[in-house]
Amino acid sequence: MDDGTFGCPFCTGEKKQDYQFEDLLHHATGIGASNSRKVFHNTRHRAFGRFLQLDLAPSIVLPSADLEAAVTAAAAAESEPPPEEELFVWPWMAVLVNADSSNEVNSLTDLGDANSLADQLADFHPADTVFLHLEDDKGGRSSSTTVIVKFQQSWDGFKNAIDFESHFKSNRRGWREWIELQGDVSSTLYGWIARSDDYNEDSYIGRYLRKHGELKTVMQAIKEEIKEIFNLVSNLTNETVVKHQHLHDLAVRYEKTFLVFLQLMYGKVKPHQAYNDVTTAAVPSAPRSSPPLSSPTAAASTSTTYSEPPPEDGEELFVSPWMAVLVNANPSDADGDTNSLADQLADFHPADTIFLHLEDEKGGRSTSTTVIVKFQHSWGGFENAMCFEKHFKASRHGRKEWIELQGDVSSTLHGWIAHSDDYNEDSGIGWYLRKHSELKTIKQVSEEENKEKGKLVSDLSYQINVKNQQLHDWEVRNNKINLIIHQLMYEKDKLHRAYNDEMGNLQRTARDTTRKIFEENEKLKAELELTRKEVESQSKKLEAQNEDRRKKLDDEKQKVEVAAMLQKETEEEVLRLIEKQKKEKEAALARVLQLEKEIDHKQQLELEIENLQWNLKMEQKLEREREELESLNNTLIKKERESNDELQAARKELLTGLEDLLTGHTLIGIKRMGELDVKAFQNVARKKFKSEEADIKAAELCSSWQEEMKNPSWHPFKIVVTNGKEEEFLVEDDPKLKKLWIEYGDDVCNAVKTALQELNEYCPTGKYVVPELWNFKVGRKATMKEIVRCIMKHWKSSMRTR
């Protein structure tokens, strides 16, 4: 903001929007370490906190205590190690089974059907799809197809692949469900991201993945991307160095050219002065024959010089690029004879010669030719042109002599540098000069050259700035990618542990519930068996009663038979009654059996109803207990975290408040963990150096080793697995420690080892000194009880003193 404050980009709805930098850092690290916020809130704020520490903290001055507290909080929030990495197929691919083969076309973008596979996968932004056809039982192409879905080879592509797998997992159509339904091919789509199991599978899928991909962990992919970014940064750095060197060379060339220009303008060989000297000096008469052309140096030496420069009001106009006129040249020189004109002009280094053939009075080609001599478009070329003109002026074969001899054409060469008179002349020479050049003063040429060089320097400076900005952008992007990857790995580990804990709790609950149900079933079986025995006993009693009744009927029958002998007339009636009674007895028996069956069926239904009611009550009871346990667990976790935060805050306040109270004479004091013991270095220095140099050498040696321990590339620790747990141990035969022991002995070496172990324990990431309340008597971290006891003891002693 304009007033020097900052705002949180993820808390736009909050009332407080203006923070100081240290307050904003505390805000980001606090929410990132909080467990009451949602996961994406924690992740965003942790990433924002790391960005503030890595990118903005170097450019903003923070109080040392606040910065140290913020860095400590951020390191504590990220102290847990990441889980073991899974192996994914790289480039990112996913497997989609039971796809309709009618969706296959040459490319993914050609799928025009509204319900096509491309429309279904559009939300996941696939880069390509490859259809793998399996053969059916008859040897033909199967109607269902396995599809390899390829994603972009970037972190956005990995996120899309994870979203693809999560979508199918949420619908219970992932890899696990596909394995359970192995062989049951239907039209339902199943999808998952390709891992090591698919890669090593002996099938069409495995062969395709092994041919077009490889197994990598996420960290390996991250390292490769970091390596590519590092190579790109290195290339950009080298290119920037080359551009800087090229710019430096251009600057050197510009300075040299400018110095030459100054010499030409104001020095002894200034073109204006040399030209005016030649034109005004009295040159002794010489023969009309043209002497052999001499070198530019010799010609320059024949001219007289003046100490004062001419005024600049009447600067001469020259033809640019630099050209000279040479008349009366032999036309055969254009054919390149051995004694050609090129050999005579070699000392003046012409860039090119143009022969202008003039017609004579009869309309034929003239025996003499006018030559346009071109020089390089530079100050060296201008100097050669001036030497060319000086040579002819010195021998009285310049432009002035040529004008005096107008019409007298002979074999004598005349030459001069092209000026405005030649440029404006109505002849073949003027026409050629106007077509191929323009008139400029020396000042105009110098200004144009300075303008071009300034433009070139500006363009190169702009390119260097652009490359530097690109390099900075790549570095920022690399830091952000590392931060995001670290946060993603931490969140993945956290979710993985939470998932394992929840699954363990659910499995334990399921086992307890199953055991209780089994015990209840056994109890119900025992009750059912007891009921069955009671029914059998009651049935036997009824049979005994029926037997007694049968015996009574037999007795009555005998009595009836005896009476029948006496009363024959009633025999038929008695027999009818007996028959009727028999039928009633059979009906009664049948009714008894029917009632027994109905009783059994009714009892069975009642048992089932009671069993279901009991199961329902148990499920309701378990649900209530589970909700109560979850509520209790959340409450305990919250209280435990609040207690831990209060404890850490109390220790920090104690460190601040007791810094003056706790001295070296108290039992409890403040120890700087990871700081070297200077006494060991002083003892060794007193033995090796003079007394006046010992303390200085000891301080230098201690300071150098304190900085060496902060070097992240030196980590003399090894990981040893003990009882299934990984522990770090100091490497005793480390080359640096071994060399230190040889040079300075056991005391110094042990002091460095102790400081290394303390740094690895209290600050493994930053490797800076951390203050801690320490029990010097026992040699360990002081507890809150010991600290309070020490404070009370000190308070009582101070009260007695008063």
* pLDDT tens by residue, 743-785: 888 888 888 888 888 888 887 777 778 788 787 788 788 887 8
What pLDDT does 150 receive?
94
Q: Which residue has the tokens 């010992």?
A: 694
Q: Which two tokens stand for residue 685?
A: 């220095």
**What is the pLDDT of the chain when averaged over all its residues?**
76
| Mean pLDDT, rounded, for 97-122 | 61
What pLDDT does 194 receive?
92
- CATH tag, 88-216: 3.30.70.2890
Query: 676-680, 770-774, 794-798: which has the highest mean pLDDT?
Result: 676-680
What pLDDT does 764 receive?
76
The fold of 267-440 is: Alpha-Beta Plaits (3.30.70)
Q: Confidence band (pLDDT; 50, 70, 90) for 660? A: low
Name the amino acid, one letter, at 532.
Answer: R
Q: Which two tokens stand for residue 748?
A: 């110094």
CA–CA separation, 210 and 89 (whole Å): 9
> Is the predicted pLDDT of residue 560 greater than 80, yes or no?
no
> Is the predicted pLDDT of residue 553 greater than 60, yes or no?
yes
CA–CA separation, 263 and 270 (whole Å): 6
Q: Confidence band (pLDDT; 50, 70, 90) for 263? A: low
What pLDDT does 43 receive?
64
DSSP tag of 333: G
Name the amino acid, one letter, at 637.
Answer: I
Helix (H, G, I), strand (E, B) or coil at 179: helix
Name the amino acid, one letter, at 522.
Answer: E
What pLDDT does 93 receive?
94
**Ramachandran bin of 6, using left for φ above 0, alpha for ψ from -120 to 50, beta for the remaining angles:** beta
Whether the CA torsion 559, 560, 563, 565 is positive or negative: it is: negative
How far, in Å, are 254, 598, 797 from residue 601 at the CA level? 115, 5, 89
Q: What is the distance, to the nearest Å, from the Cα of residue 155 to the centroid of all Cα atoms in its chain? A: 8
Q: Confidence band (pLDDT; 50, 70, 90) for 192? A: very high
Whether the CA torsion 261, 264, 266, 268 is positive or negative: it is: positive
Q: Confidence band (pLDDT; 50, 70, 90) for 411? A: low
Q: Confidence band (pLDDT; 50, 70, 90) for 649? A: confident
What pLDDT does 272 receive?
47
Percent of the chain topping pLDDT 70? 75
CA–CA separation, 485 and 43 (whole Å): 11
Q: Confidence band (pLDDT; 50, 70, 90) for 42? A: low
How far, in Å, are 484, 514, 650, 801 from residue 87 at the CA level? 20, 36, 44, 70
Q: Confidence band (pLDDT; 50, 70, 90) for 51? A: low
CA–CA separation, 423 and 399 (whole Å): 14
Cis bond leading into 81, ω under 30°?
no
**pTM for this model (two decimals):** 0.29
Q: Which residue has the tokens 């599978």?
A: 201
What pLDDT does 436 receive?
87
Q: Which two tokens stand for residue 63?
A: 């109080």
HSE at residue 413, side-chain half, CA atoms within 13 A, is: 24
CB atoms within 10 A of CB 139: 6
pLDDT in tens, 290-317: 434 433 333 333 333 333 333 344 478 8
> 325-334, 409-418, 564-573, 607-616: lowest mean pLDDT where?
564-573
Which residues on neighbouring strands pair with residue 440, listed in sequence order? 318
Q: What is the DSSP string of 263-286?
A: HHHHSTT-HHHHHHHHHHS-PPP-
pLDDT in tens, 506-529: 888 888 888 888 888 888 889 888
What pLDDT does 222 receive?
75
CA–CA separation, 419 and 415 (whole Å): 12
CA–CA separation, 376 and 355 (whole Å): 18
> Is the predicted pLDDT of residue 501 greater than 90, yes or no?
no
Query: 4-18, 45-59, 262-276: which has the highest mean pLDDT?
Result: 4-18
Q: 570, 564 in Cβ contact below 8 A?
A: yes
What pLDDT does 142 receive?
57
Q: 302, 390 in Cβ contact below 8 A?
A: yes
> Is the predicted pLDDT of residue 383 greater than 80, yes or no?
yes
What pLDDT does 295 receive?
38
| Mean pLDDT, rounded, for 138-149 | 69
What pLDDT does 106 receive?
41
Q: Confidence band (pLDDT; 50, 70, 90) for 94? A: very high
What pLDDT does 70 receive?
43
Q: What is the DSSP string of 137-173?
A: TTSSEEEEEEEEEE--SSHHHHHHHHHHHHHHHHTT-
- Rounded to 10°, the helix 735-744/691-709 angle is 170
Q: 146, 205 in Cβ contact below 8 A?
A: yes
> 2-6, 383-387, 671-675: lowest mean pLDDT where?
2-6
Q: 754, 677 in Cβ contact below 8 A?
A: yes
> 73-77, 590-594, 613-617: lowest mean pLDDT where?
73-77
> 120-124, 322-326, 357-361, 721-725: lowest mean pLDDT where?
357-361
